[in-house]
Amino acid sequence: MSKRVLITGAAGFIGHHLVKSILEQTDWTIACLDRLDTSGMLSRLDDVLREDQTWPARVDVTWHDLKAPLNDMVRKSVGKCDYILHLAAGSHVDRSIEDPLSFVMDNVVGTCNLLDFAREHLGESLEKFLYFSTDEVFGPAPEGVAYKEWDRYNSGNPYSASKAGAEELCLAYANTYRMPIMITHTMNVFGIRQHPEKYIPMVIRKVLEGEKVTIHANKDCTQAGKRFYINTADVADAVLFILGHGGKGDKYNLVGERELDNLELAQMIASIMDKPLIYEMVDFHSSRPGHDLRYALDGSKMARMGWEPKKKVDERLAEVVAWTLAHPYWM
């Protein structure tokens, strides 16, 4: 029997890629929940649904802001779900520093409202509830350190603190109400249709236009910030893998194929585009308070379970650059 999955933040960057992967790889129906603010765009879902004429009939889109409980009409639109994938969140670090309470409302209160909906209206019919957390809950990672799933938190900004708070709330519901909750920590995600303010589309645009790229670095401007970048296609693949193989009440790190510093990444983009890179190294603490120079997660747990990214980051990056240049309105 076909499953039904609720995806919150379905019109967001990662959410719409999950919608596509589920439509491609399963026969499930999808309830999309989104409030369509700065990060949620119906045009993303429209692009996906145009790829196959049979897909629109399998997707329902409902507007809702999770700061409010799900009312009767929203619950009817969502229907009975086997899985919940909770991606909806405020995720802009700079805005969280300016307005911390709004992130508590979006990420903690919003998550609590969704948990209550699942507990009160889905009950035992709910098979899995997957909460998307972030590598940032662990704070900065010194060289040589990669955090495991159950390591301690050390949030460096209100955004990451709100994600950590929601994560703990999910565990509390799993422990108190025996809900089938799982958690992912995902590193920096990139792919097509990403918001143009994000690093990779921003670098593509600046290289194309011959502008200077700012590279956030250490105080001496000798070492650029480092991340394990992971493509949206691999994130979506990992989510489907976890739904099939993950255990209730457990956590999973989704980590890219290899670590890159942001200068190396910008140079790769410029090389793919066959254009020069004009850049400046800037002390990240003075230019972006609340941001950390290096994040790192240990992906060995997922590897032991049998999952790893399908392609190398170089291949994924080349695909994203080519697509973005062919669709310049996304820059």
Amino acid at 76: K
Contact criterion met (CB below 8 Å) for 133 and 186: yes
The HSE-up count of residue 236 (CA atoms within 13 Å, CB side) is 21
- Which pair of tokens denotes residue 314? 């170089």
308 a catalytic residue: no
- CA nearest to 162, candidates 113, 105, 112: 105
What is the C-alpha to C-alpha distance for residues 113 and 119, in angstroms, rounded to an integer?
Answer: 10
C-alpha to C-alpha distances, 181 to 84, 195, 247, nearest whole angstrom: 9, 29, 9
136 a catalytic residue: yes
Out of 34, 82, 106, 136, the active site residue is 136
User: Which positions ≥6 away from 121 have C-beta within 8 Å?
Assistant: 70, 75
Out of 34, 82, 106, 135, the active site residue is 135
What is the C-alpha to C-alpha distance for residues 240 and 25, in angstroms, rounded to an integer?
Answer: 9
Contact criterion met (CB below 8 Å) for 64 and 74: yes
Out of 131, 159, 173, 252, the active site residue is 159
Amino acid at 253: N
Contact criterion met (CB below 8 Å) for 226 and 296: yes
What is the C-alpha to C-alpha distance for residues 103 and 96, in angstroms, rounded to an integer?
Answer: 6
C-alpha to C-alpha distances, 33 to 9, 74, 86, 87, 185, nearest whole angstrom: 6, 9, 10, 10, 21
**Which residues are known catalytic residues?**
135-136, 159
